[in-house]
Every structure is written in C-alpha cells, then in structure tokens.
Structure 1
C-alpha cells in the first residue's frame, strides 16, 4: 500500500453550538459518496478529550510519521530539527513561541502570535534579550521563525505541554504544564513578564502601534528516542488546515464554506481515486476523537447493507 493517498482532516467537527448550527445547512455530497465506498479502520480511531494537550489530528499525524503519540509529548521540535538536517544526539527539544498574554480579572488569554507583526529582525532582537535568562536554567534558544524559536534542554525530556492551537485565544491557566514538573517554566513566565513589561523593546513597539510581547508558550516537547524514524513507506498525509483556521477563530460561517471547498476539492479527488481502484485512506478529526477509513474488500453482505444503511457524513461528525 505504498501508493496509498491519505487525507487527514482536522476540525472536521466541533461540539461548539456555532458549529452545530453551521452543519444544519451543510451539504457534502462527495464525502457521503466516499464514506459509502470506504470501510472503517478501527485501529486508526482515537478517543480523547477536548482537554487533552495534543489534538486528535496531531496524534494521527504523529502515528503516520512514525513518531510517539503520547498526549502532550509528541516531539515535534526534535522532529523539525531532524527534518532540517540538524543532529539532535537524543537531546530534548521544544518550540518556544513569543506571544502576548492578555490579562483580565478572570482570564489570561493567549492572543494569536500571528497578529504580533513580528518580523525576523524583531524576533531575533527579542530572542537576544530573553536568551540569557533561559540559559541560566540550562535552556538554549535558537532562532527558527519570527513567531517560533527552538529550545534545547533536559527540562523538555519528559514534560507534557499543550500544543499552541489548543490554547490559542483561550485561558492559558487551564493548559499550563504540571506545576511541580515545570517549576522552572512557571518561574520563567513570571520573570519574562516582569522583564518585558517596561523594556525598551516593548516601548518601541507601543510607539509604533504594535502589540507588546509579554510572554511565551512552550510546545512540541520531547526527544527522538534512538535513531530518527525511518522515512515511512507511505506518503505523509495531506492535511488541509482551512477548517482548523476557521474553527480557531470561532468563525463557523467560514468553517462551513471551507468544508464545501474541501468537499469539492480534496475529498472529490480522493473519491475519484477510490472509484478508479486506487487505495485511499481518510481520517476525520474533531477536538476529541478521530475516525479512520480506508479502501478494503467488503463482503457481499456488507455491500448489501450499505445500500440501505450508507454511512453519512453527519453521522460521522457527531462522533468526533
């Protein structure tokens, strides 16, 4: 099955009332036809909670890439280093995203880092300011992208952390890593807020009308145990992010439009491949669970039953 095409769809559904309403008028004819042709693949199903640190699609992608999929301990940063040709030597790595925490009386909300307007020069300048503080705790920071740095240090070896999208635009307090295991991070959060509160870096940003940066988020922690995973025999899944982007903004009208576009595009393409006899795989993910489907021989009884009880996308999404 080395030529299997795998379509992995994050945020295919949500328990949000806005999502439930958006589904009412949604028609996905290609998805219905595709589900009618595919067989469930229970070993690819995944059950979790909305409070889990790693979203279902992250766990599904990790398994497809041969990475460990333990909640909050998927070593995405170490995998990224490996993909960039960097030798990790079994070191523990993490992503560190500079961000703004908006503090109110009953919430500490992590605003979207993409809205900070950080370019490479500003990000590198900020990294130079905070790096010595991290270094005192055995954490080495490295520039990667304007809104994402790499960090290496023993602290990240077995530390469960919530992915950035889990906490985006939400109250960070519910997603903080274990207080005992992450004392260093909790202290660094306090120190960075004090350091940056009146720092010239933020004063200049304020003068320019740009949002201040007053904190950071650690995610993607862990080490690659043993040799890096071999290149999978199957191509990596195709994972469109349009549903995710709309859901994280709580824009359910855009989410419905994105689903219609997916149905007419990637889902229709997968259906054509399945109809031509090519092996395909589909994974639908919500905020809690994931359901897997694939092309597999079906018995005459199964096909007969499918004529009268075809799988419908609306029945599938309620399980996510």
Structure 2
C-alpha cells in the first residue's frame, strides 16, 4: 500500500465531482497522520518527539552520537510589545545563511561552553545543544505551537528550571548586542535576538518499519527514516506516479496542487491518505461498486 501524509483537510479546496465521488466510496476509518507515524516508528503517541536528535542525523551524519541527548536552540526573532514579545520567526521560518552562522557561532559557543554545554550549528536554521543525560529541562514547546503567539506564554520556567531561564535571557542579551544584526537589518532581514529551545531527547530504539522509500522535505521525518534503515529521498516536486509501498510526505505542499494530482494517483494502487486533522481515507479499486455512498464534501479553504 502507498501512504501519503497530507495537510489538514480543513485547508483543502472544494473537490470536483468525480474526485468527491471516489473519496466518498473510500474507507474512512484509519488513524490520523501523527498517531500513525508514532506507532510506525516507535515514538510516543502523546507529547513531543525527540526532534533535535532526529534532525541532527540529517544535519551532521558524520558526527552522529546515537546515545546523546540533544536540544534544538534555533535562531529566533521575538518582537517586543506591551505584553512581552511575539515569536515572529524561528528556525526554518528564519532567513539565515552560513555567513550569519559564522558571525553568531563564536559568541554563542563560548557562552554555552562556560555553562558546560556544547553548542553548534551544522545547519544555518537548526542549531543544537548537547546535553548531559541527567539535565532537568522545562517542557519546551515546538515552533509550530508558538509561532505568532506571545513567546512567554510558551516559556514555563519553574523555580527548578531557573538555569534555563537565565541561559535564554543571557543569550538574548548577547544576540541583541551583536553587531551582525546591524548587517542583517541593512539587508532587510529580521534580527536574531533570541534562541528557541525545543525538541529535546534521544533517538528512539531502532526498528524496521514495513515501508519502502520515504519521500519528504521534513528533516525530522528524514532523520527517522535514516535512523531506522530506510531509504530517504528528498521530495522536490509532486510525482507523476507513486511507488508501491512508499511513504510520501506532502504536508508542506499546497492542498490545491495535491487535489489536482490526486485523480491520476488514485487509479494506480491502494492508497492510504493520512491527514493531520481527521481519520485516514483508504482508496482501492474494489470500492468503485459502492454506488450507495454519498460524495465526500470538504469545507473550501478560506
């Protein structure tokens, strides 16, 4: 079976009549995308994944340490307001170059080294801290949860985690004062004035999922596939045809583009469409005789 990870169904455009009839005849009782991924790859069904350890397999494979505990410390832009500050860009939504890393890295690496923590930035948009296995951490929130919100609503530093509040505050001072932010401003780029901690953990136990190739642009999923010995291919564009037993991660692609390509895919083989916000839809040839089923209706995107 081919499996396709899809964006929220709520973002989809209205389906044309033939496609809505095909999907209306399909089976609608599978898992959502994230629980399916968690079960397939041995990750926790609730809570955050060890994204830092996973993406590091992609960013620094030559220095992979499978038992090491990692934390992302991504470059971020927090814009001050009367309530504190909004997180407007972080990590992969932050325009960054290797020149930026070369400017900020020495100061940050020296700062964290004094605190007994190794810091590096093998990818301009994904920065890392190597943690002691016994280090006690707050519950850091991922960027998708916090982006656009008041940053401090997602920073729950208790008394026990005062050290991490101090580290973030002192890093913000260093970045605010850094002369390279003037260079970025002259280029029309936002300042790097904070770090965003998230994605803590170690790699999960290895297993061999019953999958073929993985096609994705998501670094965490690419790291998962690599860790479990699967062949991972970068998804550059929507394919004309789908490979048997493969997993296609289309979550970052416009739903309207996917909807246009779906009719050509659905006649090829059994396909399980795994949405982030609703039960999966499984389509196969044997469903064409279900003439009593109503066409599938989705709310048009706005």
Paired residue for 1:94? 71
Per-residue deviation, residues 194-218 of structure 1 (Å, max 9, x unmatched) = 2222222324434554322110112
Shift of 1:262: 1.2
Q: 2 CA distance for matches of 1:211 and 1:190?
A: 19
Aligned counterpart, 2:221? none
Q: Residue in 1 aligned with 2:193?
A: 214
Match of 1:292 among 280, 287, 294: 280
Partner of 1:18: none
2:55 paired with 1:80: yes
Distance 1:92 1:169, change over 3 A: same
2-structure distance, mates of 1:131, 1:307: 64
Query: Is the Cα–Cα contact under 8 Å of residues 157 and 223 in structure 1 kept in the other structure?
Result: no
Aligned-CA RMSD value: 3.4
Partner of 1:263: 259
In the alignment, the residues of structure 1 paired with residue 160 and residue 279 of structure 2 have an alpha-carbon distance, to the nearest angstrom, of: 33
Candidates 228, 231, 238, aligned match of 2:248: 238
The residue matched to 2:211 in structure 1 has which SS? coil
- The answer on whether the counterparts of 1:97 and 1:216 sit within 8 Å (CA) in structure 2 is yes
> 2:241 maps to what in 1?
none
State the shift of 1:192 in Å.
1.6
Question: Equivalent residue of 2:74, what SS?
Answer: strand
Give the superposition deviation at 1:303: 8.1
1:170 to 149, 156, 170: 149
Q: Higher strand share goes to which structure?
A: 2
Structure 1 residues 295 and 185, CA gap change in structure 2 (3 angstroms): same
Structure 2 match to 1:253 = none
Could you say what secondary structure the match of 1:27 adopts? coil
**Equivalent residues of 2:10, 2:298 under 8 A apart:** no
Q: Which of 5, 9, 13 pairs up with 2:6?
A: 9
The structure richer in helix per residue is: 1
Match of 2:274 among 279, 283, 286: 283
Of the three residues 295, 298, 301, the one matched with 1:314 is 298
With the length of structure 2 as denominator, give the TM-score of the two structures: 0.72
Give the secondary-structure state (helix, strand or coil) at the position aligned to 2:49.
coil
TM-score, normalised on structure 1? 0.69
Q: Secondary structure at the match of 1:13?
A: helix
Alignment of 1:11-160 (within 5 A): 11-13=8-10, 26-29=14-17, 31-42=19-30, 44-45=31-32, 57-58=33-34, 60-64=36-40, 66-83=41-58, 84=61, 86-106=63-83, 108-113=85-90, 116-154=94-132, 160=139
User: CA separation of 1:141/1:259 partners in 2, compared to 1, >3 Å: closer, same or farther?
Assistant: same
Q: 1:90 to 1:157 in 2, by over 3 A?
A: farther
Distance across 1 between alignment mates of 2:104 and 2:113: 14
Say whether the 8 Å CA contact 1:72–1:162 is kept in structure 2. no
Contact 1:40 1:294 in 2 (8 A): yes
Instruction: Provide the C-alpha distance between the structure 1 equivalents of 2:89 and 2:17, rounded to a whole number of angstroms.
Output: 34
Distance 1:32 1:197 in 2: 52
Q: Secondary structure at the match of 1:210?
A: coil
| Contact 2:22–2:288, Cα closer than 8 Å, also in 1 | no
Gap regions ≥5 residues in structure 2: 215-246
Cα separation, partners in 2 of 1:28 and 1:85, compared to 1, 3 Å:
farther
